[in-house]
Chain A
Amino acid sequence: MTADEKHSAFFNRLDEHARPASIPAFWKSIRRFDDRIARFRESQEAVKGRVIDVQGLGKAFQVIADVLAEISASRVVLNDEAPLDMFREADFNGVQFNRLADFRGDPAGWQTVCERADAGITSAEALLAETGTVICSSGPGKSRLVSLLPPVHIVICPVERFTTDIFTWLEARDGVWPANTVLISGPSKTADIEQTMSVGMHGPKKLVVIIYGEGDAKGER
């Protein structure tokens, strides 16, 4: 049988019994959170993630400096996306920053610096309050390894990107899907040995989400 014949034989087996049926209309989220940051924090902390909310981008960068000092980070990898482009390296003494922008055309070199970094910093395209989820996509200026290989993942995200849950996010999102989108709901973990929770399996051992706003710190729109 040729490949085409195999293909039609495969579909013939399915079509033989097809009974067209309409898919129900979509599920409308009925969730409401008075304080979205509080709900987000509660969900993250339940899985040992950390959430810090601050006023203003300047303060957010200050918090990054504190976190990096706390974990004694000396090598950091950075995505090339807003608001990280506003990042002034001069503010961080003794930390070596590797920016994705400097590694265009050198994926192997980029993988190596990600593998050796103490922390990776990204932004996020959305935050889901209900599940404490950070959503990151691949694309120009956005590496998937920054949030995956280093032992610490720091996310810096404006409060405007909050949405209630996966349903409100899917309803609002449009445009083509990038090659990779990941919904991150905490640091990597496993319970595969004697059902005992252990944080930091293959992905980052620590997740720090820094949410910054200008006006309302509660995350209300």
Chain B
Amino acid sequence: MNPRRPGFRQSARIALEDVRLSTALESATGRFRSARETAIAEFPGVEDLRDHFKHIREATVKDLGRHLRIFEESASAAGAQVHFAEDAAAAREVILDIVRKNGVKLVTKSKSMATEEIRLNHALEDAGIRAVETDLGEWIVQLAEEPPSHIIAPAIHKTKEQVAELFSAESGSGVASEISELTTHARLRLRELFLSAGVGISGGNIAVAETGSVVLVTNEGNGRMVTSLPRVHIALIGIEKVAPTWHDAGVWLALLARSATGQPLSIYTSVITGPKRSGDIDGPEEVHIVFLDNGRSRLLNTQYEEILQCIRCGACLNICPVYRVSGGHAYCGEDGEQSPYSGPIGAVVAPLLFGLDNFKALPQASTLCGACRDVCPARIDLPRMLLALRMDSVEAGLVKPLEAALERTTARVFSNEQLFEIAARFGRIGQRFLRVDLPEIAPRSFRKWWAEEGK
């Protein structure tokens, strides 16, 4: 396990000094950004589509209970078993129970942030069950015993040489550091496991209420393997990921991949509606869908409800000037606990779901530039909630007294013309003695300039 890094500031500093990491981050997020821009621009009426989607998400989240009940009914009718877990512990228990009942010792997993959130792999390991991540990036970080550093590109921080080392250690034989060699190696190695696992665990991008279907998107095809080959399939899904109808799910799909990777659709969009039917030759005999609350219902009807409209596309990570230099691993609590969600979405959701006390530094990790709001397919006002969380921190006394006093003073000075002029005068003199690389304070304030020359 990596040494635990305390707090955002400390771990961001470590990331900033890592030249290789920052190069990888900038190139990867840059690629995602331009691909997204192209894919969004190519879709006629995309701004209307986003408004439409916002409306869908807003209305769905307002009435989650109703849509989840409809899902439960339709999924049960299709032969699936639906479970509802209040918190991480309850979700782990439900899943462990199913795995144990089936006497299974090997589980294959497709990428799921929700399973990261409940630390499922550790729970399975503790119970003597081997859980193998099968998304290439997730498998790499699992072998490295690290958490994922990006929602959709978990191993963004690894070089091919590092990957070759990990694969060689795992297989006990040398693997060359060519990318094609590495993917072929992973294909063969993981194929054996796909074929022998007794349970497949996935997340779910969308839960479609009207038909009780789980929608899962992947590019590699591991999502299809995990939901087609093992005898039992378990999907863990946050309660907010429900779409009332297929019309709504269609809009969701049209925006998801475009926002995430800039693809019009991911390579595979799987729709799973219950276990195999009579007449089907293959497919799981049992399908379980576990809905996870874990603090989400607490946000309903509060100023933070809007965050439940998120579809975890990762567009806000790629655009964020803070994420782009700090990377996903920097988003951790004061005690070093890693948040599975990073970037602007992580900075809002981690304090709300896992505690503001521990994650108080994350809402500060933003310039409030608003770029995240501009790219969000659901037009979530992330900066508004980052500010609100900062206010909550002050009210809860989580900000150091000196820092709070300084900020209060600054606010007073900046909002008062005379005080501002006096401060600027002192600043101009004081600046001469400071050895800090900052632009010089203008000889004349804007107000003065306007009064004298403007109009």
Contact = CB atoms under 8 A, between A and B. Distances in A.
Given A23-B60, A145-B282, A190-B136, A18 B225 contact: no
Given A193-B140, A195-B28, A9 B86 contact: yes
Interface residues of A, number: 72
A-side interface mostly: loop
Interface in B238-282: 239, 244-248, 250-251, 253-254, 263-277, 279-282
A86 interface: no
B281 A110 contact: yes
Nearest to B191: A202
B68 interface: yes
A6 B66 CA distance: 17
A148 B224 contact: yes
B195 A111 contact: yes
Contact of B267 (A24, A47, A195): A47
A106 to B, nearest CB: 9
A76 B253 CA distance: 33
Contact of B63 (A13, A20, A198, A200): A20
B187 A26 contact: no
B63 A192 contact: no
Interface string A187-212: 11111111110101111100000000
Given A18-B66, A182-B270, A143 B59 contact: no
A33 B13 CA distance: 51
Contact of B277 (A15, A179, A192): A179
Interface string A151-192: 000000000000001110010000011111111111111111
Contact of B219 (A13, A181, A193, A201): A201
B155 interface: yes
Contacts of A180: 227-228, 270-273, 283
B187 A20 contact: no
Contact of B273 (A104, A143, A166, A178): A178
A180 B223 CA distance: 12
Interface centre among B68, B69, B135, B246 (most CB of A within 10 A): B246
Given A24-B55, A195-B27, A185 B266 contact: yes
B304 to A, nearest CB: 12
Contacts of A143: 281-282
Interface string B40-54: 000011000100100
A204 B228 CA distance: 15
A16 B63 CA distance: 10
A18 B268 CA distance: 34
Q: Is the interface on chain B under 10, 10 to 19, 20 to 34, or 35 or more residues?
A: 35 or more
Interface string B158-185: 1110010000000000000001101100
A30 interface: yes
B241 to A, nearest CB: 14
B183 A177 contact: no
Contact of A192 (B86, B155, B190, B227): B155
Contact of A177 (B27, B137, B213, B282): B213
Contacts of B159: 194
B62 interface: yes
Contacts of A200: 183, 187
A202 B56 contact: no
6 pairs of A and B residues whose beta carbons are closest in the complex:
A203-B221, A14-B65, A26-B247, A192-B137, A201-B220, A17-B301
Interface of A: 6-7, 9-11, 13-24, 26-27, 30-31, 43, 47, 100, 103-104, 107, 110-111, 115, 130-133, 138-140, 143-145, 148, 165-167, 170, 176-196, 198, 200-204
23 contacts: A11-B68, A19-B301, A20-B62, A27-B52, A30-B45, A107-B282, A139-B280, A143-B282, A145-B228, A148-B224, A176-B211, A179-B274, A181-B273, A186-B267, A192-B137, A192-B220, A193-B137, A193-B140, A193-B163, A194-B159, A195-B156, A201-B219, A203-B221
Given A115-B195, A177-B273, A188-B267, 16 more contacts: A18-B64, A18-B65, A20-B62, A23-B55, A26-B247, A107-B282, A139-B279, A167-B250, A176-B273, A190-B183, A193-B136, A194-B159, A200-B183, A202-B194, A202-B222, A203-B221
